[in-house]
Structure formats: structure tokens, C-alpha cells
Structure 1
């Protein structure tokens, strides 16, 4: 497999990431809903009305009904325009190039190494999960700077105009973070990123392999597009359920504004969980679940269908 697995996984991941980017952006906006003024200064969404300036709306009252998936998407279109749905796309491309290329290629290598037969074909589920955990951790560590930039670029449009970071692209975002917040800011939330990536990679890749093998082994469907789509759908659902709480906390920690001379809104993941649950209730950890599923499903389907096609095209290499 070697380098070929990294190339195949990278191409499939970039295609999947770009095609589902708007869904990921809506998910990030939903996950940031409800942050109190104390926990996230100046991170309240701005609503724009025709002929007026954006108005900051506080989130301090958790009992207020907040917009859902379609409402947030429509709000972005009205207030920021269609192009806003692709805010942070350059960071997504960089993230998939670093993170997903690493995890997909390494997963294939580890599966082969862990197999006593020297092939990944008959690997038991627990070994697939172990390979996914390791591959996800390494990939997340490599791709964390792009992940931070992507979250910030996706979240920027929800701020009042005066508080926006206005990154011109992923390179500008990384440069500004380095200059104003130091090298450590590029790995802010890295523990959460690693934990989430381990959960997503293990559940997503292992579930896909297991489901595909079960469908073919029981002769429910032949090895083809319908099988790939069915296995991908199962993998996306499992990954969304398993990773959503970590994803919410990761999004909030990465997006928080840290001002010099002031304590950060969150001191870490546990503090973020405690403040979120205390202010908004336990189900706040599943904010953005519908768009997470809506994004994970298509993303996973596009990822694995593209991967199978790329493998077919590159099988002679």
C-alpha cells in the first residue's frame, strides 16, 4: 500500500471535504449557539436587516428558541450571501490534505501490519478500531493548525462587523494567529482534536470496512456502488453519534477569543463542558447533531465512493 494509500485517501478526502463544506459551516454555527457573554466575549451572532447595520443578539438566556439547521442556513444566505457558505474552504482543503491524507494512508498501513496474513482483508473488528485510533491521533496532530483556522473562518460571519477577524485565507489566518497569539494558538484544542479524530476515524473507517465485508459476505449485494453507499451511510451515522459531544467542545475552545491580560473563556475541555452543561443543559453537547449527521452522511458516502473509484483507477500503479 505505502504511499499509494496516502494519495488515494487524500484525493477522496479533499473531494468529500469540499463538496460538504457548507454543511460543516452550518454545523459550526449551530455548535456556537448559546455561548454566554461571560464564556465567549464578543461571540454573539449578528443579524442584519435591510437598510440597517448588524445587531448583536445575546445568547445568555438558554430558554430562548434558537434557529435550527435550515434557519441558520437561510440566515447566512440572507445576511452574508451565498459565498459565505464556503467561508474557510481554503482551510478545509489544507485540513483534508494534512489530516485526512495522513489518517487514511496510515490506517491502511496499520491494518496490513496488524494482520497475521499480511493483508487487511480478514482483520478482526477490534484491530480495525485500534488502527483507526492510532491513525486518527497522528492525523489530527498534523492537521490541527488548519482545523483551528477552518473553525475561525467558518465562525467569523456570525460576529458583529467590528469584532470579525476577516481572514483573507488559510495562510492569512495562520499568520495572524502566529503574530498575535503565538505558536501555541495553532495547536489550541489539539487534545480535543486528537480525541475527536480518534473517535471519528475508528468508528468511521472500521464501521465501513465491517459493513462492507458483512454485505458482501452475506451476499446481500455485490461489491459495487450500492454496497459502498450502504456501508458509507452506516459509517457516517456511527461516527456522528460517537463524535458530536467532543466536536461541540472542540469548536468552542478553538473559536474562543483570548485577550491579553484576561483569563480565557475556557481553561480547557473539562471547563468548557462544565460551563456549557451548566448554562445550556446536557443536550447542548449534541448541538449541531442534525447537520453533523447531514454532513457526516454525505461526507462519508462521497469519501468512500470516491476512494473506491480512485483505487480502481490507480490499481495498476
Structure 2
């Protein structure tokens, strides 16, 4: 039955998302480096007479660190629990976005398969693009809340939003900035979701089918790990530039006079490249890959178990 595809995909995504949430938080913090708001400068404030001539405006920019350094910074400044900031939003995001995309992809794939023949790769990609786009539109409010909650700790205390939960984040955003703010960054979110779903699900299915067809491995845990690892790497590389733009749009602060640092996705991309260089669009790639790898492995291993539980027992 069609509903099983949604239940299987949603449950597997929730387990994977909550398990790898700290890695996703580190990725978000790294993507926001260089944009402003980081609270750890690369030198301590000077109090000696030798530095008396240094002007307050000459405060150097924060150190840009890698994934391990960023994780250590979060723990040192905010505590271990900060690695799970926004986990309630991750739960809601997976329950909306991933449940929709996983279920729709499976439904389209099953509908297009004929006479037991393997579905061509291009049709899997099309199914992923459609399912990902629809899923992103459904899950954007939770995605926006997750990004803001993950990023809050990097700001000075007086500038933080201090959301209590995903519900608080969504309600306060709608009240303070309007309902439309819940879909801020939806364009890059949809594009990213289309790329991730198409590359992730299509790659997993294709690699798994090729391995089984050539009898390289039997259908089991090892095969699922190999196929999901390939899917995770492919999804991370293809989606990272859009993910950086999406993160910055969702996290941007609107001024009291209504001014915004970015007018849209393209403006954000161009300003990021102009200020920080083209490689800035691949900020957070390493933690993205470290996050996508475990996330995708947990996702598909859990999904295969869910399929056995819901389908083989009927």
C-alpha cells in the first residue's frame, strides 16, 4: 500500500536526522563563518599599555575553523547540550519534508516500473527531483526554524532569538516577520531538496541494483552500507553550494527598517562569492560529507529494516 512508503521513509528519516543532528549543526555554523556574528575573535582583547593605540574598530575577524574546531568551540562556549540545539526542529523537518519526499519517490518509482524491469536511472532522477521539490515546500517552516535554532548560539547574547522549541520558533517568526517569513529561502531549499533527493535516492537504488545484478554482494547490511555511502557523497557534493545560500537566507536578520542583507538567492550567492571567494559556496563541505555519510547510511539501513517489518510480515 502507498501509505507504507511514507511511514517507512518518515520513520527512517527521523532516526537518521536526530542521530546526526550535531554534525548538521556544525555544518550550519561553518557555512555561516565569514558572514558576521561569530563571537570568538582570534586574539583576546588587549589591556596593556602597548596596545593602547589600537582603535576599537580594528577588532580582528573571528578565526575560521574546521569541523573539529567548530565542534570544540560550540562545546567550550555553549556546552555539550548545544550540539543538539534545534533537534525538535530536525524531528519536525524529517516528519514533514523527508516523509513527503521518500513516500512520493517510492510511489512514482513503483508506478513507472513495468513487468519487473529495472527503472532507468533518468526516471529515478526525475522522480527524485519531483519528490524533493514537493517535500521541501512542505517542510520549509521546520527547516527555517532548525537553521535559526542551530545558528543562535554563535551570536552575541543580546542578538540571540532564544527560541524555546520549534513551535516557538515558527509562531514567533510568523508573528514578528509575517507568515511569508516561514518560507524565506524556499527557492534554494526546493532546489537543494531536488538535488539531494535525486542524487541520494537515485544513486542508492542504482548502485544497489548494479551490485546485485553483477552478484558482487548479497542483499544485506554490507550492500546497504556501500550503496548508501555512495549516495551520501554524491548528495553532499551536488547540493552544498545551494545549501550555503539556503542557510544564509534563512538565518539573516531583518533590520528594524526592513532592510535585508540579501534580496534573494542570487544576490546572496553573488555577495558571498564577491566577499569570500567562489570556494565559499563549498563552506561546510567536509562536515556536510561527514553528516551526509552517516545520515544516509542510517537512513537506508533503517529504511530496509522498516520495509522488512511492514512488508514481510503481511
TM range (shorter): over 0.9
**Residue pairs, 1:233-272, within 5 angstroms:** 233-272=229-268
Larger radius of gyration: 2
**Residue pairs, 1:95-106, within 5 angstroms:** 95-106=93-104
Aligned equivalents of 2:289 and 2:70: distance in 1? 16
Q: Is the 8 A contact 1:34 1:59 kept in 2?
A: no
**Residue pairs, 1:221-240, within 5 angstroms:** 221-240=217-236
Two-structure CA RMSD over aligned residues (Å): 2.1
Cα distance change of structure 1 residues 251 and 61 upon mapping to structure 2, 3 Å threshold: farther
Per the alignment, residue 40 of structure 2 pairs with 47
**Residue pairs, 1:140-155, within 5 angstroms:** 140-155=136-151
Displacement of 1:77 in angstroms is 0.4
Q: Is the 8 A contact 2:40 2:63 kept in 1?
A: no
Aligned equivalents of 2:257 and 2:64: distance in 1? 33
3-state DSSP of counterpart to 1:216: helix
Displacement of 1:113 in angstroms is 1.7
Displacement of 1:122 in angstroms is 0.8
Aligned equivalents of 1:60 and 1:217: distance in 2? 61
Q: Is the 8 A contact 2:195 2:238 kept in 1?
A: yes
Displacement of 1:306 in angstroms is 0.3
Cα distance change of structure 1 residues 115 and 59 upon mapping to structure 2, 3 Å threshold: farther
Q: Is the 8 A contact 1:95 1:143 kept in 2?
A: yes
Structure 2's unaligned 5+ residue stretches are 46-55
Per the alignment, residue 79 of structure 1 pairs with 77
Aligned equivalents of 1:202 and 1:235: distance in 2? 10
Q: Is the 8 A contact 2:93 2:139 kept in 1?
A: yes
Aligned equivalents of 2:95 and 2:203: distance in 1? 23
Aligned equivalents of 2:256 and 2:268: distance in 1? 20
Q: Is the 8 A contact 1:44 1:58 kept in 2?
A: no
State the aligned residue count: 301
**Is 2:293 the partner of 1:297?**
yes
TM-score computed with the length of structure 2 as normaliser: 0.92
Aligned equivalents of 1:249 and 1:19: distance in 2? 25
TM-score computed with the length of structure 1 as normaliser: 0.91
Per the alignment, residue 18 of structure 1 pairs with 18
Cα distance change of structure 1 residues 306 and 289 upon mapping to structure 2, 3 Å threshold: same
Displacement of 1:46 in angstroms is 1.7
Structure 1's unaligned 5+ residue stretches are 36-42
The match for 1:288 among 284, 288, 313 is 284
The match for 2:201 among 201, 205, 216 is 205
